[in-house]
Structure 1
Amino acid sequence: MFDSEQRYQFEDFVTDTRLAKADEDLFRLLKRAVAQHGYDRLSLWVIDDPDLPQRVHGRGVLHNFPEDLRVYYKENNCDAYDPVMQALKMQTGSLDWEAHEKRSNYQPAQTRLYNVARDGGLHNGVSTPVWGRNGLLASLGLASAEQGDATRANLDLIGALTAQFYLSYKRLNAQTPSPRAKTTGITPKEAEILSWVAAGKTDAEIAVILNISRNTVDTHMRHIFARLDAHSRVTAVVRAIADGLICP
């Protein structure tokens, strides 16, 4: 799942973000991590996270997107029709802005929004959702100031970086202790299965490796999601690594 050839290793990103003492330090680490994929524009949007105070809710809580684009977005109430955000609410993985535009029938206001974004220097955009038990908590938008094939996106790794970044952001800003702090961890069998997930194996492949049925793997994965309060495989892996439950 994780590209071992990246100069800034994911394991180091986990360690560094866990040690970060301020939002600015955390954001700097994320910029370093995603720069290796060709992204140099970042924006965190906290949508609806009950663990975080209202003062940190909203678009661009941490960002380096162009200010004129942020003004356009607010003045034109773009959150009501932003096609990427609408689509993001329907899926668990990262969403490529340009690919979504090509396969969708945008309304004029939606096309205008993304033309403004491109004219403002946002290209090759990707947004990654952060899900919780109560729905969509936040999203992280990434883009490149360069046109063309400037990015080298590994969307699984982008998802993992986003999950770890947001966990650390919540650690610094949560108004109440996270319910996940009460977790008792995972069983040895669950840790074994999740380690194979981190290695990029599918449920079917894990079933063959461990000589168990695919239904048994699925049952273990559902227990893992519940124990770690995770909505996806990537989030489960990231949280298990961060808590020292598995080693990548």
Structure 2
Amino acid sequence: MKTDCREFVDALRKVTDADALWRVMLTFFYSRGGIRISYRHVQGDPDRDMTPTIYHDGFPDGFIRRSVAEGYHRSNPISAVALVTTEPFYWSDVETKRKLSDAELAFLDIVRTEIPGNGVVIQMFGPNSRNGTINLGFPEDFPRLEPSELGELQLVGQAAHLAYCRLVPPEEQEAHRLTAREVEILEWIAQGKSNSVIADILGISVHTVDTHIRRIFKKLRVHDRTTAAVKGLGAGLVQNATSGWGP
């Protein structure tokens, strides 16, 4: 049963944190036929070498892990094109929007191979260059949405994005951003590596690894390695730990 837009707006008024907002978004977009959903928040210049904030649900675990390891956001044309346009479009149509680089075409090949079905990207814009995208993946053979339906999804996405900007001030956003080294260590944690093994792999001391892990726990608001891996890499909340997502 479809969630009514008015119900969604009413629910937005009641959320008090980003996790609750994400749950409300999942309920709405799944009710509209989606089976994979991601929300990406970008602060400032989207081209800068910085990991965005990403929430995701339903994307293949293997794809998410590779996103972290290989930094997919740097060669993802879908979000890049979305953030310089104003109308939602299907993933499969991105090649009609502009000429893509070899790296971007390679990214699309990975998406087609690892993520069945098509999807749409919805762009949102906020205060002080706090912009974002929502990707909504559909089952194979799911009929294309009418322009009016895409417009409705964009209105809902924009409302959700502004709610996120309200709930998460810029200074808090930056405070919880993982560094490149922390992202790297989180990936090894997710693969089950001990602190001493991570230290050997990265050529740093165990003490340094311990320090990074304490900072990761604080930023992700967790208290153990398993929860950090699940929260950072699993099919749920990814707080700046993911260098890309899918797609």
Structure 1-normalised TM-score?
0.56
C-alpha change, 1:86 and 1:167, in structure 2 (3 Å) is closer
In terms of mean alpha carbon deviation, does 84-93 or 66-75 score higher?
66-75
Shift in Å, 1:126: 1.3
CA shift, 1:98, in A, is 0.7
Superposition pairs of residues 141-180 of structure 1, within 5 angstroms: 141-144=135-138, 146-149=139-142, 152=145, 154-175=149-170
Distance 1:79 1:92 in 2: 20
Q: Is 1:67 paired with 2:61?
A: yes
- Compute the RMSD of aligned alpha carbons: 2.9
1:21 is matched with: 16
Moved more, 160-169 or 112-121: 112-121
Q: Deviation per CA, 1:84-139, whole angstroms, max 9, x where unpaired?
A: 12211321221211122366654443333223223333532211122235446211
Q: State which of 77, 89, 93 in structure 1 corresponds to 2:71.
A: 77
State the secondary structure of the residue aligned to 2:124. strand
What's the CA shift for 1:81? 2.3
Q: Which amino acid aligns with 1:75?
A: A
Q: Which residue of the partner structure matches residue 243 of structure 1?
A: none
| Secondary structure of 2:125 counterpart | strand
Q: Could you tell me whether the CA contact under 8 Å between 1:127 and 1:141 is conserved in 2? A: yes
Distance 2:13 2:66 in 1: 35
- Aligned-partner residue type, residue 130 of structure 1: M
TM-score, length of structure 2 as denominator length: 0.56
Q: Which amino acid in the other structure matches residue 172 of structure 1?
A: L
Q: Which residue of 2 aligns with 1:216?
A: none
Distance 1:72 1:45 in 2: 17
Corresponding residue for 2:177?
none
Equivalent residue runs for 1:180-195 within 5 Å: none
Tell me, yes or no, if structure 1 residue 45 matches structure 2 residue 40. yes
Q: What is the deviation of 1:66?
A: 2.5
What is the 5 A alignment of 1:99-248? 99-101=93-95, 105-132=99-126, 134-135=128-129, 137-144=131-138, 146-149=139-142, 152=145, 154-175=149-170
Once the two structures are TM-superposed, the CA of residue 23 in structure 1 deviates from its matched residue by: 2.9
Q: Distance in 2 between matches of 1:109 and 1:49?
A: 23
Quick one: distance in 2 between partners of 1:124 and 1:75?
A: 24
Letter paired with 1:123 = G
Which residue of structure 2 aligns with residue 94 of structure 1?
88
Per-residue CA deviation, residues 161-185 of structure 1 (Å, 9 max, x unaligned), is 10111122223222579xxxxxxxx
Q: Which amino acid aligns with 1:60?
A: I
Segments of structure 2 that go 5 or more residues without pairing to the other structure are 46-50, 173-247
Higher relative contact order (CA 8 A, sep 6+): 2
CA deviation map 1:68-92 (0-9, x unaligned): 2222233333322211122113212
Aligned sequence identity (%):
16
